[in-house]
Chain A
Amino acid sequence: MKNKAEFVYVTYIHSTVEKVFDALTAPEMTRKYWAHLNVSDWKVGSPWKHEDANDGQLRLVGKVLEKDPPKRLVISWAFPADKDNEAKHTRVTFLVEPGPNAVRLTVTHEELEPGSDMDKGIRHGWPVVLSNLKTLLETGSAMDTKTLFAFSKK
Chain B
Amino acid sequence: MDKVFKALADPSRRKLLDVLRTDNGQTLGELCQHLDMSRQAATKHLKLLEAANLVVTVWRGREKLHYLNPVPIHEIYERWIGKFERQRLRALYDLKEGLEKNYEK
Contact = CB atoms under 8 A, between A and B. Distances in A.
Interface string A34-52: 0000000000000000000
A137 interface: no
Contacts, number: 57
Interface residues of B, number: 19
Contact of A150 (B70, B71, B87): B87
Contacts of A134: 75
A131 B83 contact: no
B86 A8 contact: no
A130 B58 CA distance: 19
Given A11-B71, A127-B70, A143-B78, A5 B87 contact: no
Contact of B67 (A7, A130, A131, A132): A7
5 contacts: A8-B69, A10-B69, A127-B70, A131-B75, A150-B86
Interface of B: 24-25, 53, 56, 58, 67, 69-75, 78, 83-84, 86-87, 90
